[in-house]
Structure 1
Amino acid sequence: MEALARTRFVRISPQKLRLVCNLVAGKTVEQALSILQFTPKKGAKVVLKALMAAVANARDQQNVDEDRLFVKRVTADTGPTWKRSLQRAHMHATPILKRTSHLTVVVDERVA
């Protein structure tokens, strides 16, 4: 049975978050946790927290064995963009786009 966890409005760009998501997709939960703990990126902490929430959802709702869980799907979708402006010389302004992401982590039980 699938279990998922969603984290919405994460203040990191989807492009940077997908770099971390691709590291753990298809791995067992144990492997994914160890990879994320030693990945020196901001997105690793976000994905780690969402992965632990998905595992907790699987354990609580479906009573599955944690040792047989694997990361079925990890997606980082585009959230709303916060628009700001940076004042420049001669009364010009440069737009600053503060991008956000929606993260979805799906874990499933591997059939032996």
Structure 2
Amino acid sequence: MEAIAKLNNCPTSPRKMRLVVDLIRGERVEKALSILKFTNKEAAIRVQKLLLSAIKNWEAKNEGTSAEENQLFVKTVMVDGGRQLKRLRPAPQGRGYRIRKRSNHVTLIVDSKSTETTQN
């Protein structure tokens, strides 16, 4: 059983967010939380909150079982580009430089490792 958490229009560039997200992809939830806690990037705080939200979503979906008993792991994390705010900055000789303030959408899926293997 898997649970999904989404973060939309996060005001960080997708490239910077992917650096943090690549650290936790495929890891166990406990290890991923400790990695994010000690990562020295602003995006790590946002991803940590998103991961906690995904864990709570999983617990709400699977009532009666706790996340500690099952082997929860980060199944999928996707970072897509969001909207861009376009601004102008003054430049020499009356010109204007375009500044693109980027944002992103993050989708995080948490799943529990099943101990049973089904064979057909």
Name the TM-score, length of structure 1 as normaliser: 0.96
Structure 2 unmatched runs, 5+: 116-120
For residues 91 and 35 of structure 1, the distance between their equivalents in structure 2, rounded to whole angstroms, comes to 47
Question: Which residue of the partner structure matches residue 48 of structure 1?
Answer: 48
Q: Which runs of 5+ in 1 are unaligned?
A: none
Q: CA deviation at 1:73?
A: 0.6
Cα distance in 1 between the residues matched to 2:111 and 2:26 = 10
**Percent same amino acid at aligned positions?**
39
Shift of 1:65: 3.4
Q: Which residue of 1 aligns with 2:18?
A: 18
Counterparts of 1:76 and 1:65 in 2: how far apart (Å)?
28
Tell me the alpha carbon deviations over residues 47-87 of structure 1, each in whole angstroms, 9 at most, x when there is no partner.
10100000000001223431311000111100011100101
Distance in 2, Cα, partners of 1:48 & 1:24: 10
User: How many angstroms apart in 1 are the aligned matches of 2:57 and 2:104?
Assistant: 21
Higher helix share: 1
Alignment size in residue pairs: 112
Deviation of 1:111 after TM superposition, in Å, equals 1.2
Q: Which amino acid aligns with 1:85?
A: L
Please, which moves more after superposition, 63-72 or 13-22?
A: 63-72
Bigger Rg, which one: 2
In the superposition, the TM-score normalised over structure 2's length comes to 0.90
